[in-house]
């Protein structure tokens, strides 16, 4: 048996996509173990997660994401752009579509300009509600952890946002797990370290499920921009520079994230 796959990346956040649009390819009870095996960068294909593109009863397509620790994530901003690119190229959807995720249905607008693919995602509305401690009088959910002031926000998945003077000086491998596993976050959290540089947010993210730093995190960029805006540190349009490249977050009647996606290669897995 062979399983066809496509490797894609959004700002360096990379995924292996399995097309299950016309039916199950990887059995449900094996999806977590499949992710652990093939996300491995030495003994597998190498990725931050496995995307499963499926048909949906409530939207045009469905996205599921299994992570290297075998868990299933509710939402992924970079992942949904990669899924949308694949679906668009395969002819499953047109320039606008709806995608079912574990965090609800999101809208996607996409297309090519000079052979570069860009997608704008309507993100779940940021909610400052992932903290176990009560909100302050300003409606902020925050906690002091390991000497850092940590804000909580949910943009489809739970996030911790930490503002620092210089992100390059932070030992993310040491501090990230301490915040990610802190009991303040009931389900754990992705941890975003954010440096404000004029009108730009520079961000590095320690991701739950990957259990390490990734090149980019779309929901993390959105959460960081939302907290910065809530605190008066950013406006309605925020450029977020991740290690893998920039994202643009816009706040209005909805919250959107704009960024690229690229196909890296395709292949088959003997299985």
> Is there a contact between 14 and 8 (Cβ–Cβ < 8 Å)?
yes
> Is there a contact between 217 and 176 (Cβ–Cβ < 8 Å)?
no
> 3-state SS of the chain?
CEEEEEEEEECCEEEEEEEECCCCCCCHHHHHHHHHHHCCCCCCCCCCEEEEEECCCCCCEEEEEECCCCCEECCCHHHHHHHHHHHHHHCCCCCEEEEEECCEEEEEEEEEECCEEEEEEEECCCECCCECCCCCCCCCCEEEECCEEEEEEECCCEEEEEECCCHHHCCHHHHHHHHHCCCCEECECEEEEEEEECCEEEEEEEECCCCEEECCCHHHHHHHHHHHHHCCCCCCEEEEEECCEEEEEEECCCEEEEEECEEEEEEEEEC
- Catalytic annotation, pick one of 39, 82, 97, 217: 217
Indicate if 97 belongs to the active site: no
First to last CA, the chain: 5
Crossing angle between the packed helical segments 77-90 and 218-230, to the nearest 10 degrees: 130
Indicate if 39 belongs to the active site: no
Strand partners, 13: 10
Q: Tell me which residues are annotated as active site.
A: 76, 217
């Amino acid at each position: 048996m062979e399983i066809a796959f496509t490797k894609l990346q959004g700002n360096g956040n990379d995924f292996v996509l399995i097309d299950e649009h016309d039916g199950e390819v990887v059995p449900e009870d094996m999806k977590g173990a499949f992710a652990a095996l093939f996300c491995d960068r030495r003994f597998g294909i190498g990725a931050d997660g496995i995307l499963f593109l499926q048909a949906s009863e409530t939207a045009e397509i469905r996205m599921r994401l299994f992570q290297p620790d075998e868990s299933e994530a509710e939402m992924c901003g970079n992942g949904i752009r990669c899924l949308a690119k694949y679906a668009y190229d395969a002819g499953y959807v047109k320039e606008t579509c709806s995608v079912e995720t574990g965090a609800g249905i999101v809208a996607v607008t996409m297309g090519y300009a000079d052979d570069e693919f860009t997608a704008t995602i309507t993100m779940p509305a940021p909610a400052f509600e992932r903290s176990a401690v009560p909100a302050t009088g300003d409606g902020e959910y925050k906690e002091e952890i390991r000497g850092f002031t940590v804000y909580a926000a949910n943009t489809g998945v739970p996030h911790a946002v930490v503002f620092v003077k210089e992100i390059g000086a932070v030992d993310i491998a040491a501090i990230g797990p301490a915040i990610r596993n802190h009991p303040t976050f009931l389900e754990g959290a992705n941890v975003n370290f954010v440096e404000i540089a004029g009108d730009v947010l520079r961000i590095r993210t320690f991701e739950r499920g990957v259990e390490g730093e990734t090149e980019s995190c779309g929901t993390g960029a959105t959460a960081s921009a939302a907290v910065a805006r809530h605190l008066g540190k950013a406006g309605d349009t925020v450029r977020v520079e991740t290690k893998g490249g920039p994202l643009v977050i816009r706040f209005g009647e909805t919250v959107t994230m704009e960024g690229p996606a690229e196909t890296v290669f395709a292949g088959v897995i003997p299985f």
